[in-house]
């Protein structure tokens, strides 16, 4: 007698169906729910997008911070020439302190300043203009582009109201009749000035000279030009306070003592 399909011991479709049903009921052994791989991919894509947005936000914050610091606090500059040797060497990177003269402070005699020479050392037409000029200025603010050729670094010898005289190579400069001792910064072998002059600095202007007098194009070279070589105070970008590169040249640029000894004679002297 044959065994009925679906009874114990049977070999028909009923038995196979029972085995299959049992297999489907075993926990953890069935196929994954439909759509699970897509959900995981979506989560990964969302995570990647969030990471990219966070990175862009961080980069934007860093750039904004750098722009604000360069615009209002301090700005790096590269020394382009040897006109300030041995105080500053060609290729030195210095930091100009833009807060030095903020809040009513004044430029002082003896300060090393970074300034825009357009309108004093150079004609106004030398300043870069248009979109290219704006992009270059942005790159300079970010420290990604070198400073324009209109930017100079020199030492302030006289401020508004000062009378500065030089007899030529045979004697020292005098400021308001007081001989100026420049031995602490003047490059060895250089005379205080090979050119004789006698000038009075107009209010709001500066008389600036390089420490390497024999290699410096400074206020003396513009005596006969419009403006007389005087640099407007509002063209000063900042006071050069630190040399930060190369490492072997790290130093602070302190004001030489002889300038402090001049006291408040003439101009605004030691103020600021």
Catalytic residue IDs: 83, 154
Per the structure block, which two tokens stand in for 262? 């001049």
Distance of CA 221 to the CA centre of its chain: 29
Distance of alpha carbon 112 from the chain centroid: 17
Q: Angle, to 10 degrees, between the axis of helix 36-72 and the axis of helix 130-141?
A: 100
Tell me which residue of 74, 75, 82, 154 sits closest to 113, measured CA to CA.
154
Residue 190 tokens read as 């250089």
- Per the CB < 8 A criterion, the answer to whether 235 and 101 are in contact is no
Q: How far apart are CA 49 and CA 247, in angstroms?
A: 41
């Amino acid at each position: 007698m044959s065994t009925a399909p679906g009874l114990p011991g049977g070999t028909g479709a009923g038995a196979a169906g029972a085995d299959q049903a049992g297999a489907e009921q075993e926990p953890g052994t069935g196929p994954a729910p439909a759509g699970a791989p897509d959900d995981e991919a979506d989560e990964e894509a969302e995570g990647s997008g969030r990471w990219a947005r966070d990175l862009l936000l961080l980069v934007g914050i860093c750039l904004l911070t750098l722009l604000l610091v360069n615009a209002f606090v301090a700005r790096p500059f590269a020394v382009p020439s040897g006109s300030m040797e041995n105080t500053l060497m060609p290729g030195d990177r210095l930091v100009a302190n833009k807060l030095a003269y903020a809040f009513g402070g004044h430029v002082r005699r003896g300060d090393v300043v970074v300034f825009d020479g357009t309108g004093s050392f150079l004609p106004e037409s030398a300043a870069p203009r248009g979109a290219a000029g704006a992009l270059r200025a942005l790159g300079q603010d970010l420290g990604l582009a070198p400073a324009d050729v209109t930017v100079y670094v020199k030492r302030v010898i006289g401020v508004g109201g000062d009378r500065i005289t030089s007899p030529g190579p045979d004697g020292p400069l005098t400021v308001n009749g007081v001989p100026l001792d420049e031995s602490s910064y003047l490059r060895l072998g250089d005379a205080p000035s090979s050119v004789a002059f006698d000038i009075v600095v107009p209010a709001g202007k500066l008389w600036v000279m390089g420490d390497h007098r024999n290699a410096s194009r400074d206020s003396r070279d513009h005596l006969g030009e419009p403006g007389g070589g005087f640099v407007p105070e509002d063209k000063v970008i900042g006071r050069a306070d630190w040399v930060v590169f190369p490492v072997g040249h790290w130093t602070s640029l302190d004001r030489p003592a002889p300038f402090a000894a001049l006291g408040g004679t003439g101009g605004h002297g030691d103020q600021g």
